[in-house]
Structure 1
Amino acid sequence: MLLYNVTTIVDESIAQEWQEWMLSKHIPDVMNTGLFVKNHFLKVLDSPNEGVTYSAQFIAKSKDDYELYLEKHATELREEVKALFKEQLVSFRTLMEYVTDDF
């Protein structure tokens, strides 16, 4: 199992609008690709950055599913974010592998 994490720092002036859009549109769109089995959406409370920091996490069963997401869906979904929110946010992505899943 893999965890695809997208950390986004959002300008405070659009934080509420962006959060609502993530929950109602973007996260459902990512999940509707069928390539992730679960997701989490978190707000970072102790971020050293200006603005509001969020973490959107998506769990994939395999690297093949993750790579298929990148190949077929990621560009279009990222472009939608850019078109709507322009220079008001910055994101970085991390792929992690579960070493254990017994929390």
Structure 2
Amino acid sequence: MIIYNVTVNIDDSVHDEWLIWIKEHIPQVLATGKFVDARLTRVLVKEDMGGTTYSVQYKAHSREALDTYYAEDAERLQGDGLKRFADKMLAFRTELEVIDEYSVNFN
């Protein structure tokens, strides 16, 4: 499994507007059919640059699904956010390969 991670630092002046937007954006990305699920998290480490940092983690069906997302959907879906928040956010993307998963069962 591949995790497509998008880390975003958003300026306080547009934080609330961005949070509404991202909660609409994530279902649009999932609607492409390239991902199994997504998780929106806030990074708890304070950045020197200020603002609030979030991580959105999308689990891709496969490497091929992520590559297809890049080719068919990424530019269109990222474009709206870039237009609306371009000078008020800093984003970077990473790809993670899941090697193993563990969980605790408290039955």
How would you bin the TM-score normalised by the shorter chain? over 0.9
Stretches of structure 1 that go unaligned for 5 or more consecutive residues are none
Partner of 1:34: 33
For 2:2 and 2:30, the matched residues in 1 are separated by: 15
Deviation at 1:48, TM superposition (A): 2.3
3-state SS of paired residue (1:65): helix
Q: Which amino acid aligns with 2:40?
A: F
- Report deviation, 1:78: 1.4
Cα drift, residue 47 of structure 1: 3.1
Aligned residue number for residue 43 of structure 1: 42
TM-score by length of 2: 0.90
The secondary structure found in structure 2 opposite 1:45 is: coil
3-state SS, counterpart of residue 87 of structure 1:
helix
Pairwise CA RMSD: 1.0
Q: 1:11 Cα deviation (Å)? A: 0.3
- Alpha-carbon separation, structure 2, partners of 1:83 and 1:59: 25
How far apart, CA to CA, are the structure 2 residues paired with 1:74 and 1:87? 20
Deviations 1:40-66 (A, max 9, x none): 000111132411100011001210000
Q: Give the deviation of 1:26 after TM superposition.
A: 0.6
Query: Could you list the runs of 5+ residues in structure 2 that have no partner in the other structure?
Result: none
Determine whether 1:100 maps to 2:100.
yes
Of stretches 60-69 and 39-48 in structure 1, the one that deviates more from structure 2 is 39-48
C-alpha separation in 1, matches of 2:101 and 2:75: 30
Q: Which aligned pairs between 1:8-27 and structure 2 lie closer than 5 A? A: 8-23=8-23, 25-27=24-26
Aligned partner of 1:60 in structure 2 is 60
> Secondary structure at 2:35's aligned position in 1?
coil
Aligned length: 102
**Structure index of larger Rg:** 2
For 1:96, what is the secondary structure of its paired residue? strand
